[in-house]
Amino acid sequence: MRVFLLYPDRDFNLKGELPPQTEALVKDLELDIVLDTMAQGDSFLRTVSRQALMSSLEDPQVIRYRQMILQDCLNNPDTVRELYQIPVQALITKQKQWLGIFSLYPSSILSSAVELLEMFVGLLRKMRRIVDEHGEHFHSAGFQRFFNMIRQELDEAYFVEIESHLKELRFRDGVLISAELGMGNEGQNYVLRKPKRAKGNWKERVFSKRSPVYSFSIPPRDDHGAKAIGELRDRGINSVANAVAQSADHIDSFLNVLRVELGFYVACLNLAERLAEIGQPICFPDPYPATTRVHTFRGLYDVCLALTVNHPVVGNELNGDGKDLVMITGANQGGKSTFLRSIGVAQLMMQCGMFVGAESFAANCCNGLFTHYKREEDATMKSGKFDEELGRMSEIVNWLKPNALVLFNESFAATNEHEGSEIARQIVKALIDRRIKVFFVTHMYELAHRFYEPGLTNALFLRAERQEDGQRTFKLREGKPLPTSFGQDVFQKVFQQR
Amino acid sequence: MNFFSILWEQNEINEITLQPECFPDLNLDQVIQAITARKQEYNLKPLYYTPPNDLLTIRYRQEIARDLNNEVLIDALKAFAEQMVRVRRYLALSEKLDHHYHQAGWFLEAALVYGKALVDLGEGISAISLCSKGLLAFREILQRYLHSQAFETFFAEAKKVKEALQRVRYCIILQNGTVRVRRYEGEVDYSVEVEKTFAKFKQGAVKDYHSDLSRRSGMNHVEAQILDFVARLYPEEFAALDRFYRHQQNFVDETIARFDREIQFYLAYLDFVAEIQRKGLNFCVPEVVTDKNISACQTFDLALAHTLRFEKQEIVPNDFYLRDSERVIIITGPNQGGKTTFARMFGQLHYLAKLGLPVPGREARLFLCDQIFTHFERQEDLRNLSGKLQDDLERIRHILDHATSNSILVLNEVFSSTTFEDAVFLSKEIMRKISHLDACCVWVTFLDELSTFNEKTVSMVSTVKPDNAVERTYKIIRQPADGLAYAFSLAEKHRLTYRQIVDRIQP
């Protein structure tokens, strides 16, 4: 029995290694805001959300598999939350009643495992009931497979079978063990046997050659004897204790997997509900293979910003199909960084199967998302700022593969513009030629201009919009780079407020 | 079976159990300790303490050592040795046990391993081409033994009894304090059923909950009682075991047992050598001679090589030779330059050669000495502080009293704690006596004077790197003793040569 709600053919690995740039991404894209909203104070949900968000899928089919399941969840939030409570309940009960297999001796391993199984069986019965009552409202391939599995595997006959084992394992009629003579005539290969019930017709019973039975009892005070019998019993039930304990573990891990995978969808529900409260639209994005170049959307807004300011924020549109480079120039505080962040966040959300904050959104998957943002001055004073920037870039290059996506925000500006532009130009040019997609926010006119001039068909230039009176709309429009970033405006605005 | 030893063709010497006096100085105590450490039960040390005195025996052993330069043969012998260890362990166990069928059971195990060990060895060495008298003779003896009526009956019987016992299967029913025993009647494995029921939940690897219930061999009274019942359920099988136990006491052949121990003399040494060879160092079977034209090429200190066998640090091999009237190698040169190591090596080579074993080096021609005498500086003894010089002289006196022209002498920094004049005087006196004795000798000293004493002395010097006087090469080479060469290079390093001082001090 496998859960398979995050992948059609495998479990989600909550402890999987995350890409090396994870921390930079969380920081640069301010993902903590998104993750906090998904978790709603539940640290487990936060861990699951982070892991899912950061371990991007690259196969559009798997992305769609999750999208369909998430759509079911959006349609049936209560049932999904009720299902999620099953593994949560198992965990709480285990903790409350100190259930678990902690011993080293087969006898106590067996009895704790039996206790644990009894608790699990109750919860599995409950799960079966929920599926029976609400299953019909789910249409995604993922949920249908999961529910059908529950229906088939966990029928009444099966529950009866389990319960009869749990009864048998209390050994009311004694423990029957077979053995052989090992080296030095010492007993070995102790195997627990199931006693034959006195069945068969009278002829079989009369004519079957039964073995003589020899027996002895140890005197009541013989502690050594009692211990010896205990040891023998342990040897006999060693394997069955292992089998039962492992079964308990298997069910436990089945429930754990369920908790992780449903947890992701519950966290998505949390975010969706929050965005609905704010009044922001969501949509399921249209993922394309990583080898293609697609980036077309309408009303893409920065989810982090919306969650922070708690009211609807400005969206942008883009027709970026076929582009390898998107260079964004223009007014300070014109929404360039916000725009870049919305690109990054949407990419991650899309590639983990979530909805995105937009009216419509289509993009190619990327083979690794990276951010290279201008950083605060290095506090350790170990290296100069420009040196530090290049160091980080070099690390990114270590990890880069074709079809990755790199977001630059005011990078390489920690030196004079001419030098910075030339270095940045060489880097960007190299990346593009290596089939890496680049979004570059910069106020370095020279850099933007040098890419603009040749009229590249695979490059797109956006400008932060500025109205005649200096007012910003926070909208980005296509347009050729202009030689100033309107710093005066900002200056004036700041000083006028005084 | 006839008398046979893989160590002595004839002229057997009684085993000496005391370590030779030269061992600590030559670090041979460490070497033998390392060789025998994992082979305690054979009591091998006396074998290494008892070198033969005749070339015949040395060659008998050298031939065997050459034959053993064959992995297939070594593997067969090692497998045999491991099985013989088990035989002894099982027999010892059997003797200690109380319960009869338990005792007989372990006796049977010992017999089975013994039989198999010999059959395996016979097969393992049958096709190997051997040249040594010793191993050829042993193979012959072994084949005869394997085909003897006595052995064949013994081994066939052991296997038959064991097979019957292996077929025994019984059931134990435990209920509170009562144990019932009966034959097994085809009941199914219950854990398989349980696993089947829960198989659908399998989620990949989970913890193994099998308890580790292994314990030393033995039986408690409950198990003993159960075994009695099993014997009653299967009377014929146990009667056969009884007969075997009564009739086959003392099945280990004496010649085989002796071979099992003595072959370890070679195997243990070769194991020890193999670890060192992995560093790229050479061993050879030396030519052992009775004249004093001796030499060795690319040789080294075995104890040092063993200590550094897993380290990166390189072992620097050295050469030496003595020819015609040359007898005494005088070693001088900077400290920590490998002088003492060289001296030890010289003694070790001659001892190992006498044992009939391969020695460190690419090739070697070594003298069959009667004894090896060493004098290394001792730790100051507090009880006898004033008498150190006297003590030194007494020890040397003892050596000179007992040494013959066929002895080997290794002297290391003999009079370092006396005044220079005294040291020169005393050393020359000693040198005169050694020279008169005509024994081969290595003498490490700080006295350059000794190196040109007479036609019997040869000067060898520990060297430093030409461009850096502080760095040793650990090469000891034949060249005139020249304390100045070393002093000069040090002065240069400190910019105190004539030219440097002239240059530094402007007129």
| A375/B contact by beta carbon, under 8 A | no
**B493 or A456: which carries more pLDDT confidence?**
A456
CB contacts under 8 A, A 228-287 vs B, are: 228-229, 231-236, 238-247, 249-251, 253-254, 257
- Distance, in angstroms, between A91 CA and closest chain B CA? 17
pLDDT tens-digit series, residues A13-72: 999 999 999 999 999 999 999 999 999 999 999 999 999 999 999 999 999 999 999 999
Chain-chain contact of A192 with B180 (C-beta, under 8 angstroms):
no
Top-confidence residue, A382 or A262? A262
Top-confidence range, A116-125, B195-204, B376-385? A116-125
pLDDT in tens, A110-152: 989 999 999 999 999 999 999 999 999 999 999 999 999 999 9
Per-residue pLDDT at A384 exceeds 60: no
Confidence of residue A375 (pLDDT cuts 50, 70, 90): confident
Task: Please report the pLDDT score of residue B386 as a whole number.
Answer: 45
Res B492 pLDDT > 90: no
Q: Which of B68, B83, B127 is nearest to B269 (CA)?
A: B68
B187 → closest Cβ in A174, A193, A216? A193
**Is residue B382 pLDDT above 70, yes or no?**
no
* Sheet strands side by side (includes B408-412): B372-376, B408-412, B440-444, B328-332, B457-465, B468-478
The pLDDT value recorded for residue A91 is 94
The per-residue pLDDT for B497 is 47
Task: Answer for the pair B375, B398: CB distance below 8 angstroms, yes or no.
Answer: no
Instruction: Please write the tens of the pLDDT for every residue from B283-310.
Output: 999 999 999 999 999 999 999 999 998 8
Q: What is the pLDDT of residue A334?
A: 67
Q: Rg of chain B's alpha carbons, rounded to an integer?
A: 32
Residue of B185, B222, B223, B233 to mutate, testing the A interface (most A Cβ within 10 Å of its Cβ): B222
B196 lies within 8 A of chain A by CB: no
DSSP B450: G
Contact A484, A465 (CB under 8 A): no
SS (H, E, C) chain A: CCCCCCCCCCCCCCCCCCCCCHHHHHHHCCHHHHHHHHHCCCHHHHHHHHHHHHCCCCCHHHHHHHHHHHHHHHHCHHHHHHHHHHHHHHHHHHHHCCCCCCCCCHHHHHHHHHHHHHHHHHHHHHHHHHHHHHHHHCCCHHHHHHHHHHHHHCCHHHHHHHHHHHHHCCCCCCEEEEEEECHHHCEEEEEEECCCCCCCCHHHHHHCCCCCCEEEECCCCCHHHHHHHHHHHHHHHHHHHHHHHHHHHHHHHHHHHHHHHHHHHHHHHHHHHHHHHHCCCCECCEEECCCCCCEEEEEECCHHHHHHHCCCCCCEEEECCCCCEEEEEECCCCCHHHHHHHHHHHHHHHCCCCCECCCEEEEECCCCEEEEECCCCCCCCCCCHHHHHHHHHHHHHHHCCCCCEEEEECCCCCCCHHHHHHHHHHHHHHHHHCCCEEEEECCCHHHHHHHHCCCCCCEEEEEEEECCCCCEEEEEEECCCCCCCCHHHHHHHHHHHC
Does residue A494 have a pLDDT over 50?
A: no
Segment B326-345 mean pLDDT: 87
Q: Does pLDDT of A183 surpass 50?
A: yes
Given this model, what pLDDT does residue A291 score?
A: 95
What is residue B199's predicted lDDT score, i.e. its pLDDT? 84
Which chain B residues contact residue A211 at CB under 8 A? Answer: 182-183, 185, 233
Query: Taking 80 as the threshold, does the pLDDT of residue B334 lie above it?
Result: no
pLDDT per residue as tens digits for the range B133-191: 999 999 999 999 999 999 999 999 999 999 999 999 999 999 988 999 999 998 999 98
Confidence of residue A459 (pLDDT cuts 50, 70, 90): very high
Of B171, B211, B226, the CB nearest to A234: B211
CB B181 within 8 A of CB A213: yes
Do residue B206 and residue A253 have CB atoms under 8 angstroms apart?
A: yes
Q: What is the mean pLDDT of chain A?
A: 87
The helix/strand/coil state of B260 is helix
Task: Report the C-alpha gap between B94 and B100 in whole angstroms.
Answer: 9
pLDDT band at A450 (very low <50, low <70, confident <90, very high): confident
Q: Quote the Cα angle for A43-A45-A49, to 5°.
A: 115
In chain B, what percentage of residues exceed pLDDT 90?
66
The answer to which of A359-373, B62-76, B448-462 has the lowest mean pLDDT is B448-462
**Does B191 contact A235 at a Cβ distance shorter than 8 Å?**
no
| Mean residue pLDDT across chain B | 88
| Choice among A238-252, A267-281, A354-368, B293-307 with the minimum mean pLDDT | A238-252
pLDDT of residue B3: 67
For residue B158, which residues of chain A lie inside 8 Å, CB to CB? none
